Amino acid sequence: MLHNEITVYRFEDKTFEVSCIDADNAPIDFSSGFDNIGIFVYNADRSTLAKYSRKITAGWKSIDTSNQATGKLSFIIDSDTLKLAPLGKKFIEVIIRKTSAIVSDSKYDSITSQYLFTLKQSISSITVIP
Amino acid sequence: MSTTNTTVIAITLKFEYALPSTVGVPFSGIIDDPDQNTTTLIDSL
CB contact under 8 A, A103 and B25: yes
Best of B6, B7, B8, B14 to substitute, by most chain A Cβ atoms within 10 angstroms, is B14
Whether residue A114 has pLDDT greater than 70: yes
Burial class of A42 by CB neighbour count within 10 A (0 to 12, 13 to 18, 19+): buried
Task: Write the CB contacts of A44 (distance below 8 Å, at least 6 apart in sequence).
Answer: A86, A88, A89, A90, A91, B42, B45
* pLDDT, greater one: B41 or A116: A116
What is the ipTM for the molecules in this complex?
0.78
CB contact under 8 A, A110 and B8: no
pLDDT of B20 reads: 53
pLDDT band at B38 (very low <50, low <70, confident <90, very high): very low
Q: What gap in Å lies between CA B3 and CA A55, rounded to an integer?
A: 24
Query: Domain limits of chain A?
Result: 7-120
Question: Which top CATH class is A7-120?
Answer: mainly beta
pLDDT band at A2 (very low <50, low <70, confident <90, very high): low
Beta-ladder partners of A92: A41, A114
Whether residue A130 has pLDDT greater than 90: no
